[in-house]
Amino acid sequence: SVLVHLSRGGAEVHMYAPDVPQMHVIDHSKGQPAEAESRNVLVESARIARGKIASLAKLTTADHDAVIFPGGFGAAKNLSTFAVDGKDCKVNREVERVLKDFHKAGKPIGLCCISPVLAAKVLSGAEVTVGHEEEEGGKWPYAGTAGAIKELGAKHSHVDTKNKVVTTPAFMCETELHKIFDGIGAMVKNVLKLTGK
């Protein structure tokens, strides 16, 4: 969804991923980790990106107007330890560097789904959202994440114009796919708008 909206917005896209082992390889037909199987985050990301990807260590603010982090459970397992450690998590050092560098440069940062926890942990006082703070009968099954964000000292919001951080809950909500797609589109549109281009 992020790539479709960036394409529609006329953005030139470069993709990056950390060159680290995945915490788990998930068998999505069973919803469980595959036993005795390991994969690399960069290699798996290259599959999704159709090979057009580089190591996150090569990402610099000088060459880019903004950065967007997709979500998914991998952000909580491979970009950080949030899945295991919650508010006491550690963020991958390259992810932390990129977030801090873009923030310091005053360049927009977009995050969706669970990835706003990365900004909440790394950027003091950031305003982010992962959706609602109440479960609401199954619609927001990950509502507890909002509490963790507040414990990290971040404000639960959507567009933080001061810090140029734009977030959307995406699959944190159990809703129709087109609504998730549209929410990601709004995030991308706001990131592109904040670039001033």
What beta strand segments (E) does the chain contain? 15-17, 26-27, 32-33, 53-55, 67-69, 109-112, 127-128, 155-156, 159-160, 165-168
Handedness of CA 101, 102, 105, 106 (dihedral sign): negative
- Residues 5, 139: Cα–Cα separation, whole Å: 25
Q: What DSSP character marks residue 76?
A: H
166 contacts 123 by C-beta, under 8 angstroms: no
CA 27, CA 29: separation in Å to the nearest integer?
6
Angle at 107 between CA 78 and CA 73, to 5 degrees: 20
Catalytically active residues, by annotation: 113
CA-to-CA distance for 133 and 138, rounded, in angstroms?
12
